[in-house]
Amino acid sequence: MLEKIKETAAYIQSRISDMPKTAIILGTGLGELVNHIENQTVISYEEIPNFPVSTVEGHSGKLIFGQLGNKRIMAMQGRFHFYEGYCMQQVTFPVRVMKALGISTLFVSNAAGGMNPNFRIGDIMIITDHINLFPEHPLRGKNYKELGDRFPEMSEAYSHRLINDALKVAEEHNIRVMQGVYVGTQGPTFETPAEYKYFHIIGGDAVGMSTVPEVIVARHGGMEVFGVSVITDLGVEGVVEKVSHEEVQQAAALAQPNMTLIMKELINKFEE
Ligand code: HPA
């Protein structure tokens, strides 16, 4: 694994002279952020040695390097989901490579179903914490000291200072933001009403099929993390309705302008 990470990082380094310290994984609802990145260098996943290739509709695979406001950033457009059949090492491989490239802060976004009764479709939820319900752990197996500790500490998986910065940005722009706990599950089924209820009872505010593996690996590598969900459907008792991939995409598109604004301003504002 170490050799592969090094090989991939070396390839990217050969293409990029001014390496950023900040990376962002663009989930559903944040794809448009790419249009705000200036002086882009784009590397498609097919070109990158050892990189998996993404398969899901609505997710294209490329790394975009460039300038977002006052920061150099690396954006990952198209992530790898466990439900696609990738193993956890593949799902999280790009985060390992980011670390090897010297990335110290990771921003992540996703679409999620809301269980908190105060949530509305189209809401933005700043992730304050997560519950990992994936059936396999990305750190299972041999631990490489070079990559992080055997038993990583997770008391502040999502950086408090970045959450506070994001809340300030939202307030300045009068954008309604919620905060909550993200439950990460494997999918690909959406939840039954009983499952939504259960996830709420155990402390979840929103549920989705991504993010948690990447965040675990980022924290293993000592990166600071900020995460945000767009609430695309509701799993609130009594108001659970049918949900489809298309509806998720549509609801995410509605929230996109505000999501983009918050991320862009936050990245501009925070101290690297
Ligand atoms: N459940 C799981 N994943 C999701 C959902 C959901 O309701 N909405 C968007 N991604």
191-249 confidence digits (pLDDT tens): 999 999 999 999 999 999 999 999 999 999 999 999 999 999 999 888 777 788 888 88
Q: What distance in Å separates the CA atoms of residue 109 and residue 86, rounded to the nearest whole number?
A: 20
CATH architecture of 2-269: 3-Layer(aba) Sandwich (3.40)
The identity of residue 178, as a single letter, is M
Q: What is the pLDDT of residues 82-104, one digit of tens each?
A: 999 999 999 999 999 999 999 99
Residue bearing the CA closest to ligand 1, atom 9 = 112
For the chain, what is the mean pLDDT? 93
Q: What distance in Å separates the CA atoms of residue 198 and residue 207, rounded to the nearest whole number?
A: 11
Residue 153 has a CB neighbour count (10 Å cut-off) of 9
Sketch the domain layout of the chain as residue ranges.
2-269
pLDDT of res. 241: 74
pTM of the model as a whole:
0.94
% of the chain residues with pLDDT over 70: 97
- Joined together, the tokens standing for residue 230 give 């767009």
Distance 191 CA to ligand 1 centre (A): 7
Which of 127, 186, 191 maximizes ligand 1 atoms within 8 Å of its Cβ, making it the mutation to test the pocket? Answer: 191
| Strand (E) or helix (H) holding 267 | helix 245-269
Tell me if 251 sits within 8 A of 120, measured CB to CB. Answer: no
pLDDT of res. 216: 98
Distance 91 CA to ligand 1 centre (A): 18
Classify residue 88 by burial, with Cβ atoms within 10 Å: 0-12, 13-18, 19+.
buried
